[in-house]
Structure 1
Amino acid sequence: MTEPFPGPSLPTLIDAIRSGRLTPAEHVAQVLDRLAADPFNTVITLDVERATAAAAVLTDEANQGQWRGPLHGIALGVKDLIDVVGLPTRCGSNVLQGAPPASVDAPVVARLRTAGAVVVAKLHTQEFAHGPTGDVAATGPARNPHDPTRITGGSSSGSAAAVAAGYLPLALGTDTGCSVRTPAALCGVVGLKPTYGAVSTDGVFPLAETLDHVGLLTSDAAGAALAWSVLHGRDAAVPVTLDGLRIGVPVDDYWQPADPAIAPWPAAAVAALAAAGARVVEVRTPMIDELVAAYPLIVGNEAYTTHARWLARRPADYQPLVRERLLSFADRPAVEYIRAQRTRRRLVPELRAAVGDVDVLVLPTTRLRATPIGAASVPMDGVDVDVRPALLALNSPFNLSGWPAVSVPAPVDGLPIGVQIVGVGLDEHGILDVAAALERAWR
């Protein structure tokens, strides 16, 4: 086991820079040094010259009392699926090995830069974000800072691992079915998937346009809330209190983890919140199996459509697993996709009706902890559990619904475990308030 570097949280770094105890130039130099020495394969491209120059300007501005915004001088890592001006977007694939530098920042990057953030690196991604493990990419697997023989989760593999390793305080990822929350859970950090459409996906290479979200990874809920305020453009109007908050606990078999080590922690989270005044409500979701069956049909068909031309011309440039999964949708009838989308439109309202009396759902983020790199299945209580479905299953329903969700690490030794808080009656600020309350209860 390797102990991750205990890097400062985003609020702590902001306070240090604002108080003058740390300059943007010093902070960015420290981050670049850590990223340059990375043993976990989180880094795709370091932007040393531009980051150093930007940090110098921001340091001069800070010395003059000029502040661009809440993230003035803060280092930012960006998943290599998202455009950063001057750097290529290769999406973890040899297909884009010769991609030219992006001519403009994706809007999500531009907004964070406007608030003072300094982009320091493009970070590892599963090839074209197609998979939840983080170990299938042209540059090889990303490695979990808690145990380098194990996966980070994906597809925002480098973003989660870089934050977990303490290299930087903030990273951007994407989430189509689990790709912020699963690596957050497996690496032991906070991962926020906002409401569908709340953050622009312009300048982000698509996996499945009707499910794609851009999200954030930080070391704690306070950092995620601060970064979300920047992206969203405003702070929460009224902080959420736990007194009387209605917590939904899904009790169907579908929502249960496969790893027995995970099982106690959602219950512990619910108990901690209930002790602070929240009200616990058991909920049932009889439509869940039919709803989630639509997910792979939507993703598979949309992804194949994006890649069909390259697959016909350059199939060998794809990683074998990704190529096989994409090509499995080559001859599927259009009626299949249309039916899946109609199923989604029919059942998401039913899901909301089933859980509509609660403010949040609390459940495991994943059915498994980090598994060995390359393992397609793992034995669990005498049963072989398929890894990819186990990492997706508890997350993808909330891509289909578009509801906001955040994964928060449980206070465990060894391999991390994530607890997911899903907003039913609460927005992003609300679920992050609940996450922060849970963190306080677990300290």
Structure 2
Amino acid sequence: MNAPLSLGQAAQAVASGSHSAAEVLEACIARIEATDARVNAFTGTRFEAARAQAERVDAQRARGEPLGPLAGVPFAVKNLFDIAGEVTLAGAQVNRADPPATADAVLVQRLQAAGAVLVGSLNMDEYAYGFTTENTHFGPTHNPHRLDCSAGGSSGGSGAAVAAGQVPLALGSDTNGSIRVPASLCGVWGLKPTFGRLSRRGSYPFVHSLDHLGPFADDLPGLALAYDALQGADPLDPGCHATTVQPTARSLGLGIQGLRVGVLGGYFAEHTTAPAREVAALAAQALGATATVEWPDALQARAAAFIVSASEGGALHLHRLRTRAADYEPLSVDRFIAGAMQPAAWYVRAQRFRRVYRDKVNALFRDWDVLIAPATPVPAQPLGTEWVEINGQRLPCRPSVGLLTQPISFAGCPVVAAPLWPSGTGGLPIGVQLIAAPWREDLALRAGMALHNAGLAHCKPVEF
């Protein structure tokens, strides 16, 4: 095999026997070894353990035993997921002295139970506090489509690894946009599920009341297949509110007939550039969306999300900040200290506002099934960019790439980030968010499939 297969191709090839799991894995390993010196997506690899996993999949097939739906599919995880026997770094130097994890994170276990093969861990912003993966401890992750540009963050290694063809599947986390921003800037598929849908047990936290975990993939059917494997109740995780599995992969063929689709205006139109508006318009046309919908209190929700993130993050790290502040990255240490110093009343007010806000957002979905918005206001910017102009305003670059994602996560809605390719960006992508009501990931995935079938949303291979 000369080149790695996409997620769907890999799963089908192993299931049919046209390729062995070992062959699929070796193609990914070769791609990682050939490209990662330039991309810097991986912070650790476990190729020998992966080879042993692939051999077990092939032995199962040889014995005629049933295979899991992801049998032989290589995957990697943001390095805040526990991997048994390894230290969970969470992008930080401080964590190096921690004891190794005693068990794999629940979502890692579930992918491996479905037959997927774990090949390594991926770069991220320190403690998931950032949007660019310009990590001073492990180096910046580079955007595979233009190596001098950011891959986004905080799950930048996950988005870049999938975009570079290193793995067809990766896991990341999303608190304020950390799946959707890298998916948008790297041109891959990403899914931020409903808050509380997937177990977070075995992952390093950032903001307990906002953290989501979810997959990246290089094709939409594969994204749904992986999401289905990740689902399930977890009685040991009090933050996992799911009680049943909602199969979505088999619903992709239902199409969008009858779906009520609208386009977010107001805040979501004002905080964009021309390429971002173009992808939203393309998606709207393909999905038959003609109405503009106003999302309530988006600006206030973003402000409240900042308060909650800073406060919870600061409280979590306060004990280490007192003794090891010099071991943190300069940007994150300042934000954590500032968060820890916020008046408690601010946090209480932000959470009270959140309850009212969620009720307003949920009311929107009485009239709409899917809502469209750009995922980022701009395409990937050169690494080190400090300022960016958005609709006539000069704004700080790092936080501004999350302008369009933070209000959505604060409501806890599920979102599929679909990769589109606007004009005027020099070949760089911008994603669109396909937003559904809580617990209706299936509707967002169906809308994504319609964009794929229309020839709009797809990953593009990268030549190095």
Q: Tell me the equivalent position of 2:295.
A: 285
Give the distance between the partners of 1:402 and 1:425, measured in 2 at CA. 7
Q: How far, CA to CA, are the matches of 1:418 and 1:25 in structure 2?
A: 33
Q: 1:392 aligns to what SS in structure 2?
A: coil
Q: Does the Cα contact within 8 Å between 1:43 and 1:158 map onto a contact in 2?
A: yes
- Residue identity over aligned pairs, in percent, reads 37
Instruction: Indicate how the Cα distance of structure 1 residues 238 and 221 shifts in structure 2: closer, same or farther if over 3 A, else same.
Output: closer
Bigger mean CA offset, 166-175 vs 366-375: 366-375
Q: What secondary structure sits across from 2:275 in the alignment?
A: coil
Say if 2:369 and 2:443, in contact at 8 Å, map to a contact too.
no
Q: Provide the residue aligned with 1:439 in structure 2.
A: 452
* Structure 2 partner of 1:268: 282
What residue identity is the alignment partner of 1:117? Answer: A
Determine the structure 2 residue equivalent to 1:347. Answer: 357
Match of 1:98 in 2: 97
2:401 maps to 1:391: yes
Shifted more, 426-435 versus 106-115: the winner is: 426-435
Name the counterpart of 2:13.
16
Counterpart of 1:132 in 2: which secondary structure? coil
* 1:238 positional shift: 5.0
CA shift in 2, pair 1:20/1:354, >3 Å: closer
Task: Give, in whole Å, the separation in 2 of the partners of 1:87 and 1:29.
Answer: 23
Aligned equivalents of 1:33 and 1:384: distance in 2? 42
Determine the C-alpha separation between the residues in 2 that align with 1:181 and 1:423.
Answer: 14
Task: Give every structure 1 segment of 4 or more consecutive aligned residues whose post-TM-superposition deviation is greater than 6 Å.
Answer: none
Q: Quick one: which amino acid aligns to residue 13 of structure 1? A: A
CA gap 1:28/1:120 in 2 versus in 1, 3 angstroms: same
Structure 1: gaps (5+ residues): none
Contact 1:32–1:46 (CA under 8 A) maintained in structure 2? no
| Kept after mapping to 2: 8 A contact 1:106/1:204 | yes
| Alpha carbons 1:284, 1:355 under 8 Å: kept | no
> What is the aligned partner in structure 2 of residue 252 from structure 1?
266
- 1:33 maps to what in 2? 30
Contact 1:258 1:385 in 2 (8 A): no
Aligned counterpart for 2:374 among listed residues 356, 364, 368: 364
Query: Could you say which residue in structure 2 is the equivalent of 1:184?
Result: 183
Normalized against structure 2, the TM-score is what?
Answer: 0.90
Structure 1 residue matching 2:351: 3-state secondary structure: helix
CA distance in 2, matches of 1:84, 1:425: 30
> Can you list the C-alpha shifts for 1:128-172, whole angstroms capped at 9, x where unaligned?
100111113410110000111110000111110000001111000
Shift of 1:121: 0.4
Larger deviation: 342-351 or 293-302? 342-351
**Counterpart of 1:405?**
415
| Distance across 1 between alignment mates of 2:342 and 2:388 | 30
TM-score (norm 1): 0.94
C-alpha distance in structure 1 between counterparts of 2:49 and 2:418, whole Å: 33
**Structure 2: which amino acid aligns with 1:436?**
M
Identify the match of residue 417 of structure 1 among 419, 426, 430: 430
**Whole-angstrom distance in 2 between the partners of 1:313 and 1:234:** 46
Could you tell me which runs of 5 or more consecutive residues in structure 2 were left unpaired when the two chains were aligned: 232-244, 457-464
Secondary structure of 2:97's counterpart equals coil
* 1:243 alignment partner in structure 2: 257
Partner of 1:110: 109
Match of 2:236 in 1: none
1:256 Cα offset (Å): 3.5
Q: Is the 2:357–2:411 contact (alpha carbons within 8 Å) kept by the matching residues of 1?
A: no
Alignment of 1:187-336 (within 5 A): 187-232=186-231, 233=245, 235-236=247-248, 238-239=251-252, 240-274=254-288, 280-336=290-346
* Equivalent residue, structure 2, for 1:120: 119
* Cα distance between partner residues in 1 of 2:75 and 2:452: 23
- CA offsets 1:241-293 (integer angstroms, 9 cap, x no match): 3222111212214443432222111111111111xxxx543212342222222
Question: How far apart are 1:381 and its partner, in Å?
Answer: 6.6
Distance in 2 (alpha carbons) for counterparts of 1:185 and 1:427: 21
Contact 2:81 2:105 in 1 (8 A): yes
Cα distance, 1:15 vs structure 2: 1.1
Once the two structures are TM-superposed, the CA of residue 212 in structure 1 deviates from its matched residue by 0.3
Aligned residues: 435
Alignment of 1:70-89 (within 5 A): 70-89=69-88
TM-superposed deviation, 1:337: 0.6
Matched residue, 1:60: 59
AA matched with 1:223: G
Shift of 1:424: 2.4
- Partner Cα distance (2:202, 2:388) in 1: 37
